[in-house]
C-alpha cells in the first residue's frame, strides 16, 4: 500500500486526522460489534458523565514497522488489562481483552498507509478511550458508554539522539492516597498541568511528584514512571498504590533481569537517598526512556551520570526494548501482535 506523502523523519507528537477510527457503544448491558468510521467527531449528550464528572479513561500504545515490513503492536493485552482496571475504579464496563486487541488491529490495518516506514524512527500511535455517555445528570455511573480508538503517526522522540534532562520536585500531589493514581484517567492529567508549567517556568523539563502522605518518596516523573540504576547495578523503581502501572516500566524490569542479567527491585525510593543511583530515567510509551541528568530538591541539584551524556545501562535498556518493539531483538513470548 502506498504511504501518504509525509516527511516521516520530521514528525512531532501532534494530532493528524487519519482515515479510519473504531467506535463501539455499550448499551443495555452489552457492547455492540463496533465498526470503523471515517468521521473523527464523537457525538455525545451534553449531560454525558465524561464531560461533567470525569467518568473516562484512556490508553496509549504504538504500532511499529519491522525491517521485514511487518507491522506489529507491542503488548496490547497489557493496555487492555490496564484500561479494565481503570474501568473498575470508575464503575465503567470492562472492554473484553480480545475486543480491545481486535479493535487495535482493525485500526492499524485500515490506516496502513499512515504507518511510518522502518528506519524513520516514527511509529503509529493509538489512543483507545472509554467514556461515559447517555442521558444522565446525577452523580452516578453513565447509562451508556463509548469505546473508541483513533491513531496518528508520530515522530521519533529523540531526533538528535537521547539527551538527559533535569527535573524538580513539586510541592503539589499528583494523586491522593487511596485515590485514582493507579488508574489512567483524565483527571490525573488535568491536575498535573499547573505543576508542570511551574517546573518549565523554572527551567526544568517537568516536575517530580513525591508520595502524597509524607513527601519523602519519589512516585512519578511528570506523566512517566521513575527508575534508577544503583551503583551496584540494580534496576530500582518505586512501588506505591498511587503510581500508574507503566507497561513500559514493567517491560524494562523484564529486560533488565532477563536480557541484561540485573537484579530488579520495586520498592520505596527516598528523595533524600539519591546518592544510591549512578543513573536515573523516566519511562513511558512516548519516549520509552527519558534519561534524567539531575533532580533539584529543596534548592539542591543532584546530578546522576551526567547532565549531557546518557549512562551506559540506560542506553542499553533503551536499545534492547526498542529493538524488541521494532523486531530487531527477539521478543518474549506474547509481547508482539502482528497486524495481518
Q: Which residues are catalytic?
A: 184
User: Over the range 196-206, which residues count as b (16 or more CB within 10 Å of their CB) and which as e?
Assistant: beebeeeebbb
Could you identify the residue written with the cell 500504545?
A: 61
Q: Which three cell numbers stand for residue 290?
A: 527519558
Cα diameter, the chain: 58
Cα(18)–Cα(143) distance, integer angstroms: 30
Cα(335)–Cα(326) distance, integer angstroms: 12
Q: Which residues contact 249 (CB under 8 A, 6 or more apart)?
A: 225, 227, 237, 283
User: Over the range 151-164, which residues count as b (16 or more CB within 10 Å of their CB) and which as e?
Assistant: bbbbbbbbeeebeb
Cα–Cα distances in angstroms (integers) from residue 85 to residues 168, 226, 284, in the given order: 30, 21, 18
Could you identify the residue written with the cell 519519589?
A: 218
Amino acid at each position: 500500500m502506498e504511504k501518504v506523502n509525509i516527511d516521516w523523519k520530521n514528525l512531532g507528537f501532534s494530532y493528524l486526522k487519519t482515515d479510519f477510527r473504531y467506535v463501539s457503544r455499550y448499551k443495555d448491558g452489552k457492547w455492540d460489534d463496533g465498526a470503523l468510521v471515517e468521521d473523527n467527531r464523537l457525538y455525545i449528550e451534553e449531560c454525558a458523565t465524561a464531560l461533567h464528572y470525569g467518568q473516562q479513561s484512556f490508553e496509549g500504545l504504538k504500532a511499529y514497522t519491522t525491517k521485514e515490513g511487518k507491522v506489529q503492536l507491542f503488548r496490547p493485552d497489557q493496555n487492555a488489562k490496564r484500561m479494565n482496571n481503570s474501568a473498575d475504579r470508575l464503575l465503567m464496563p470492562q472492554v473484553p481483552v480480545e475486543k480491545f486487541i481486535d479493535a487495535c488491529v482493525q485500526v492499524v490495518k485500515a490506516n496502513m498507509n499512515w504507518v511510518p516506514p522502518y528506519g524513520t524512527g516514527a511509529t503509529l500511535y493509538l489512543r483507545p478511550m472509554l467514556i461515559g455517555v447517555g442521558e444522565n445528570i446525577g452523580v452516578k455511573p453513565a447509562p451508556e458508554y463509548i469505546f473508541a480508538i483513533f491513531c496518528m503517526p508520530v515522530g521519533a522522540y529523540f531526533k538528535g539522539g537521547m539527551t538527559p534532562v533535569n527535573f524538580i520536585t513539586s510541592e503539589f500531589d499528583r494523586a491522593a492516597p487511596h485515590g485514582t493514581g493507579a488508574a489512567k484517567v483524565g483527571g490525573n492529567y488535568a491536575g498535573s498541568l499547573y505543576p508542570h508549567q511551574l517546573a518549565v517556568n523554572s527551567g526544568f523539563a517537568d516536575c517530580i511528584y513525591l508520595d502524597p502522605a509524607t513527601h519523602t518518596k519519589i512516585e512519578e516523573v511528570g506523566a512517566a514512571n521513575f527508575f534508577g540504576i544503583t551503583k551496584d547495578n540494580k534496576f530500582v523503581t518505586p512501588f506505591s498504590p498511587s503510581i500508574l502501572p507503566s507497561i513500559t516500566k514493567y517491560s524494562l524490569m523484564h529486560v533488565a533481569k532477563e536480557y541484561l542479567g540485573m537484579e530488579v527491585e520495586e520498592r520505596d525510593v527516598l528523595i533524600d537517598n539519591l546518592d544510591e543511583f549512578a543513573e536515573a530515567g523516566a519511562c513511558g510509551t512516548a519516549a520509552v526512556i527519558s534519561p534524567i541528568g539531575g533532580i533539584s530538591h529543596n534548592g539542591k541539584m543532584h546530578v546522576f551520570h551526567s547532565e549531557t551524556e546518557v549512562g551506559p545501562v540506560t542506553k542499553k535498556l533503551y536499545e534492547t526494548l526498542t529493538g524488541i518493539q521494532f523486531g530487531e531483538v527477539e521478543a518474549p513470548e506474547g509481547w508482539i501482535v502482528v497486524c495481518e
